[in-house]
């Protein structure tokens, strides 16, 4: 009598490896997505600060846009 019902004696081990590799790949994907999201700046004022620091806009433009971004 075959105790493994025709699936082979190593089926359980292979399935375990597939599950483990999937978990590790999923964890790596989550870490990568969190890292990429952390690089994006969600704040308009932060983007405005960066543009001023790079010299893309002058102080007048900075103040004008900053005032426009403030909630009334």
Residue scoring higher pLDDT (28 or 16): 28
pTM above 0.75, yes or no: no
Burial label, 12 (beta-carbon count in 10 A; 0-12, 13-18, 19+): exposed
Task: Determine contact, residues 48/62, Cβ cutoff 8 Å.
Answer: yes
HSE-CB for 28 with a 13 A CA cutoff? 6
Read off the pLDDT band of 3 (50, 70, 90).
Answer: low
Judged against a pLDDT cut of 70, whether residue 67 lies above it is answered with yes
Task: Determine contact, residues 66/48, Cβ cutoff 8 Å.
Answer: yes
Tokens at 64, concatenated: 């004008």
DSSP 56: S
Residue scoring higher pLDDT (62 or 14): 62
């Amino acid at each position: 009598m075959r105790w493994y019902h025709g699936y082979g004696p190593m089926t359980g081990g292979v399935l375990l490896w597939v599950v483990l590799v999937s978990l590790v790949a999923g964890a790596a994907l989550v870490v990568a997505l969190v890292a990429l999201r952390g690089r994006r700046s969600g704040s308009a004022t932060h983007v405005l600060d960066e543009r001023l620091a790079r010299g893309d806009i002058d102080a007048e433009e900075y103040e004008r846009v900053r005032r426009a971004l403030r909630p009334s």
